[in-house]
Amino acid sequence: MRFFDTNVLVYAVNGQDARKQKIALELLSHAMDVNHDGAISVQVLSEFANILLGKFLLSPERTEAFISHFYPLLRTEVTADMVRNAMFIKREYGIQYYDALIVAAAEKLGCHEIISEDFNPGQMYHGMVAINPFE
């Protein structure tokens, strides 16, 4: 299973960088329609909504439409155990807390890849490889 970070969803709906949008759309549609191997957490969905509402100034109705599109990828809530694990991961890898929470969610789901531009490409995090498809 592949865990998608917020930036992948943002690039999929933001046409400011056509190359990144094309990559994000291909990855997400393949994960949703072909392999059904994509995953996100409530954290990712929440960060995505915040960016659409704040940075892009979309209406709540438009934001909800985008969020609903990605519901099939939603595989986990954020739990207290994930928060605790994220603190360990943060210390272990020296990464930001919310990035550590991404790792904790991906680990809980048994993912083998974390798709994001926010991690060191090729680095292993608890047995999962970080992949930056936008390089």
Going residue by residue through the chain, which has 135 residues, state the pLDDT in tens, using 9 for 90 and above: 999 999 999 999 998 999 999 999 999 999 998 788 999 999 999 999 999 999 999 999 999 999 999 999 999 999 999 999 999 999 999 999 999 999 999 999 999 999 999 999 999 999 999 999 999
Smallest Cα–Cα separation from 133: which of 23, 2, 50?
Answer: 23
Structure-block tokens of residue 93: 């890898």
- Please report the pLDDT score of residue 46 as a whole number: 97
Domains, the chain, with CATH or none? 2-131 (3.40.50.1010)
- Please report the pLDDT score of residue 121 as a whole number: 94
Q: Which amino acid is at 55?
A: K
- Please report the pLDDT score of residue 8 as a whole number: 98
- DSSP letters for the chain: -EEEPHHHHHHHH-TTSHHHHHHHHHHHHIIIIIS--EEEEHHHHHHHHHHHHHTS---HHHHHHHHHHTGGGEEE---HHHHHHHHHHHHHHT--HHHHHHHHHHHHTT-SEEE-SSS-TT-EETTEEEE-TT-
- Please report the pLDDT score of residue 51 as a whole number: 97
Structure-block tokens of residue 47: 């960060």
- Please report the pLDDT score of residue 35 as a whole number: 80
This prediction's pTM: 0.95
